[in-house]
Structure 1
């Protein structure tokens, strides 16, 4: 039974939040203080500007776990919305894992595995008997790491993510770099495997991909990360660090999967120790107590290698454990990094991240260790080493800043970027018609949405100059806008593209005007997927201008 009393919703025996009757009006701090305390018996706490979160204990007789309710965050663009908050359910708290840096696997249970593999590895997958748990959906998420030849430390970084679910296979790849690496990169790409990898999403509006009634929503968020949101609650974010241009992946799993997972991200069972186990269950965590960095790194290597996935495309060294991986320097060889000030900002309780560093909501020590490892194992000559160390430190600091923000302990971006000298890359590049703004709308004017919106939440980003709007990841004059096709894909002005199997060809001829054109394929051509796009190969293509049909 639910009874409405003024602006507060009451459920049997407990205040359940919450919204104004007119949901377009923001709640004041005074109103929130009342809602978060009145009649709540300490079941609420204030978590974010214009939001409350609720905790009660679930019925452990059904779950076997003593689980708090999910953190019901009732703010949306800084407004409480009745539709979201009134649909309250009691579920186990979700687990999140991320892979970042060179690379660091931050597990569901708040550990870190620092592993320098250069092959393909299981990041996370379900490990249960489907006959015992028919209510749960099986899935596998794998990742390929690579060594960037343009980065002189020679370390490995996340390159591609592979997802297997609903009898569908997806690949998440990196976006196109800006010419000369001066401006912001293009958005990440999503591919779906049929007979080959077909590009299905590259910016534009959100799309939905389904198989036998099971669906995934694919979109691009405000940080230019591609987001996969599955109908059973798994959310995957994949995108580029704005400073280092290296990619990271975030994976959040519903709490109903607690203890049902395995892989580099661990088990999501609340036990940090078993994160230091091999795929076969062998525990190697006793090595973590060693005073030798080489021994500890050896433990990380054992764990990582046990989750190797053979991939013929990566060569013979990636077909069995013990193959290709980068070795970090032992502590005795490190360049006296223990006192390096680049990473100290992360755990300084009196610094720009002070509130976050002093809070238990974010494991600042893990971020500091990841930062220190990257900085201390960087390589370069006397002239280039400081720049390389600064770059890798900024990558971890940027990830830490985001974690603090998500915990409601954020710092104004302009402040921490100035203190750390970690600017947002690309915004002020010559010829890109954009400038850095530490507090701009997250819904800027674009070719798809010419008016934009100032009502959206604020964020840092690259803001187009006056007279320019967003066209993909670029800023162009309004009369040079591109086109959005029926699937939500965005195309620059003048672009041509084919439908599946090249049955139709299209061209963006004017802003938001798509015309079907005559096929440019020559005699004897074959329609094939090349880099995920349908195109003509093995033929002499026509050189005449496109003909509108």
Structure 2
């Protein structure tokens, strides 16, 4: 749990900060009495502090079923890449999943139990019959603590980082930029006396709070371990108030599930009660088996100890994440609960669409297929119909525009312009717009992208920024915003911005990036529908805001190069590196034509007479274009050439 702290099956404690996907435990001695299974955990960085990691997704593979539980999907689980409500019964009852308190609990017929709170707390409980048969980050369950760092080969790792590397899941998507060790400014409490003292005071306060409400649990959870974990986490940058309440909630859950009485500590610690959905209320000691539409009498049959929970009010039953009257309950479908009025795929090929009736009386199905231009596939862990093709508009360097349909032009305006926007009334399309502000690098020539502004359904976000409502991450040199409807916007904090849209947006776009109608000859379309004669006229049409001092092009004739200068700039020191047949981009030339980027590079370098490392912007842009097409790009940066400070 936490930052994260590990306690193995045999009671060994250690801390590990890797943010990849790791095998927590699996059966390493499969036989007819002990089926194959594996539990994986994907650790993720905290959005506000990259030095803090926590469990972001748990994957369980058992009996041929793939179960994913994602931190942002409270009350839901993914079964074979489809999102379902709880409770669920699989393989004729061999695998059962249910919500208990604020956690999901998965149990198998052979005694494996996995509990995850959709936040950071993961518990794997192993039956005695599997003692000595398991392996992974949680150890081998052989009653010994001196061999807990065993790697897949059977030898002992020299440290926990080596242990993590050995148990990393190599085929997990989204882990391209993950790391097993701490990088950058890894803080050490001993190096900061002030922070160390703050941590001591706070962590002592935390353990003092536990003395009375948790006094009966000290034999189960050692307060000394809690104090050490607290110091470690605060040193890593955890926020004190959030950490206090989250930690006490986790330890409350552990004590209560062990059958130990815990007294309500929220008033003493000044921690608010958890927010509960409509028609429900918070209970400090509620039933671990809530009354659901599937089993209204579950609490009366429950043998588990009480837990903190949101309990449905009298006359209501849990239906997915809601509490509803019995008359509004949904349907049962092959062991899955389906809310009334919702639809889902009935097969893995998207050829059968099922719907639970609004009255919850029956599930109806019909033959279905993906629309033209889409195909059934798994994207970001969810199966569905997704576009088969995408198109990207790129703005790079001093700015060069490469539209969705492949038209190229240069435009040096320094105001705010509409880069791309949805200009269709099609109600099936999510509306978004992307604006860019260019910054004049000097008073006479050129400009470069300074700010990227994205609006999704009217909600504004500037790049680079961190925002909870959209999927935002750092991919290599780029800040990336991805939407759940297939649009991706990226910006390298310097001069390269891209907008990628799926084929469903064909003929629906407008702005400086063109209309995406597969015809590059009419990409100079202005807001009034006419074709612009020049890039300056196009920019004037799509200007959104006029900033004091901004212009729609070079204030004076843009500088050009002599033949001698162009020959010099075509060397590998400048632009020639892009098209060099033996250079770092050699594997990309067949996938992305380098000559357009070479011309962009020459334009920029000439504009600034070989100064300011302008070639680095185009090299970055070509790298992004190549990698988007899946081409291998070999290392071309160095401390002296286009390094981090350029």
TM-score range, shorter chain: 0.5 to 0.7
Give matches, 1:85-96, under 5 Å: none
Call closer, same or farther: CA 1:346–1:261 in 2, change over 3 Å. farther
Residue 190 of structure 1 pairs with residue 78 of structure 2: yes
Structure-1 separation of matches of 2:185 and 2:96: 34
Q: Deviation per CA, 1:212-260, whole angstroms, max 9, x where unpaired?
A: xxx73122042253333333322222333xxxxx232211222233333
The question of whether the paired residues in 1 share the 8 Å contact of 2:59 and 2:69 is answered with no
Q: Which of these residues, 435, 441, 444, is aligned with residue 281 of structure 2?
A: 435
Q: Which residue of 2 aligns with 1:16?
A: none
C-alpha deviation, 1:124, in angstroms:
1.9
Secondary structure of 1:336 counterpart: helix
Q: Which residue of 2 aligns with 1:268?
A: 141
Q: Which residue of 1 aligns with 2:256?
A: 405
Residue 227 of structure 1 pairs with residue 115 of structure 2: no
Q: Which residue of 2 aligns with 1:355?
A: 216
Q: Which of these residues, 334, 343, 346, is aligned with residue 487 of structure 1?
A: 334
Q: Which of these residues, 74, 98, 101, is aligned with residue 2 of structure 2?
A: 101
C-alpha deviation, 1:113, in angstroms:
1.7
Give matches, 1:107-506, under 5 Å: 107-128=8-29, 135-149=33-47, 151-152=48-49, 154-166=51-63, 168=64, 170-174=66-70, 177=73, 186-192=74-80, 198-199=81-82, 201-204=84-87, 206-209=88-91, 216-240=94-118, 246-276=119-149, 299-311=159-171, 313-318=173-178, 327-333=186-192, 334-342=195-203, 344-346=205-207, 350-357=211-218, 359=219, 361-378=220-237, 388-412=239-263, 415-427=264-276, 432-442=278-288, 444-449=290-295, 456=302, 458-465=306-313, 468-476=316-324, 481-500=328-347, 501-506=349-354
Give matches, 1:22-61, under 5 Å: none
Q: Deviation per CA, 1:297-356, whole angstroms, max 9, x where unpaired?
A: xx43343233323236235445x8658799453432344244233564447784221222
Q: Deviation per CA, 1:482-538, whole angstroms, max 9, x where unpaired?
A: 412322333334322231134433333323233526667576464445566654444
The question of whether the paired residues in 1 share the 8 Å contact of 2:28 and 2:133 is answered with yes
C-alpha deviation, 1:162, in angstroms:
3.0
Call closer, same or farther: CA 1:324–1:220 in 2, change over 3 Å. farther
The question of whether the paired residues in 2 share the 8 Å contact of 1:175 and 1:189 is answered with no
The question of whether the paired residues in 1 share the 8 Å contact of 2:28 and 2:135 is answered with yes
C-alpha deviation, 1:107, in angstroms:
0.8
Structure-1 separation of matches of 2:65 and 2:123: 18
Call closer, same or farther: CA 1:280–1:538 in 2, change over 3 Å. closer
Structure-1 separation of matches of 2:170 and 2:225: 30
The question of whether the paired residues in 2 share the 8 Å contact of 1:352 and 1:419 is answered with no
The question of whether the paired residues in 2 share the 8 Å contact of 1:218 and 1:229 is answered with yes
Moved more, 227-236 or 435-444: 435-444
Q: Deviation per CA, 1:425-453, whole angstroms, max 9, x where unpaired?
A: 222x7xx3433222444555544455775
Structure-1 separation of matches of 2:286 and 2:224: 31
Q: Which of these residues, 495, 516, 537, is aligned with residue 364 of structure 2?
A: 516
With normalisation by structure 2, the TM-score equals: 0.52
Moved more, 366-375 or 112-121: 366-375
Q: Which protein is bigger by CA-based radius of gyration?
A: 2
C-alpha deviation, 1:468, in angstroms:
4.6
The question of whether the paired residues in 2 share the 8 Å contact of 1:317 and 1:324 is answered with no
With normalisation by structure 1, the TM-score equals: 0.60
C-alpha deviation, 1:145, in angstroms:
0.9
The question of whether the paired residues in 1 share the 8 Å contact of 2:54 and 2:120 is answered with yes
Taking only aligned residues, the RMSD between alpha carbons, in angstroms, comes to 3.7
Call closer, same or farther: CA 1:464–1:171 in 2, change over 3 Å. closer
Q: Any unmatched runs of 5+ in structure 1?
A: 1-99, 178-185, 193-197, 241-245, 286-298, 380-387, 544-549
Secondary structure of 1:376 counterpart: helix
Secondary structure of 1:102 counterpart: coil
Higher relative contact order, structure no. (Cα contacts within 8 Å, ≥ 6 residues apart): 1
Secondary structure of 1:391 counterpart: helix
C-alpha deviation, 1:141, in angstroms:
2.5
The question of whether the paired residues in 1 share the 8 Å contact of 2:85 and 2:338 is answered with no
C-alpha deviation, 1:144, in angstroms:
1.4
Call closer, same or farther: CA 1:139–1:462 in 2, change over 3 Å. closer
Q: Any unmatched runs of 5+ in structure 2?
A: 389-425, 429-646
Structure-2 separation of matches of 1:533 and 1:139: 22
Q: Which residue of 1 aligns with 2:621?
A: none
